[in-house]
Amino acid sequence: MRFNDALTGGVLVIFAIAEITYTRTFPSLFGQSYGPDLFPRIIGYGLLATGTLLIARGVLQKIRAGAQGRWVALGPWVGQSHHEINLLLVLFALIAYIFLSDWVGFMPMSMLILSVLLYRLGSSISVSLLIAAVTTAVLHVMFAKLLLVPLPTGLLTGLVY
């Protein structure tokens, strides 16, 4: 699936405007002409400029292509049921993680999601389980131990930490 650059640029411009607007709520520092809003605002203006350029480029592409130019071009995978099932499985996995991770926990959910998706996408069961276990362990160490991001323990409460 391919989106015209004007659509992507439009989303980027909307995000940039929202970000710049939100930075106006940041507190100012006494005695300084800049504060914690400076760098996020600079990034927001950069995103705004980039989005505007993408919109201009997309509109020019659409004008040059004429009637053949499309805002959204569907890929060759559309209409092939196994690819559509894979897409729905990924979306279902994301939704399941959002709703079940607090109860089940990060590690079991990650193992389950990764192993099912890897198996569905062509890996053997043993390879899927091995990659899922290693990936889950690495992510847990990176987030919970190094970055100190609290991950939901769920069913493993008392065993993980």
Going from the C-alpha of 33 to that of each of 28, 37, 41, 82, the distances in angstroms are: 8, 11, 14, 57
Q: What pLDDT, on the 0 to 100 scale, is given for residue 160? A: 60
Task: Reduce the DSSP state of residue 90 to 3 states and report it.
Answer: helix
Q: What pLDDT, on the 0 to 100 scale, is given for residue 1? A: 65
Domain ranges of the chain: 2-73, 81-156
pLDDT in tens, 118-132: 999 999 999 999 999
For the chain, give the number of residues. Answer: 161
Query: Picking from 10-19, 115-124, 136-145, 152-161, which range would have the lowest pLDDT averaged per residue?
Result: 152-161
CB 15 within 8 A of CB 47: yes
Q: What is the DSSP letter of 59?
A: H
Integer Cα distance of 39 and 142 in angstroms? 26
CB 131 within 8 A of CB 111: no
In the predicted structure, residue 161 carries a pLDDT above the cut 70: no
In the predicted structure, residue 16 carries a pLDDT above the cut 90: yes
0.85 exceeded by pTM: no
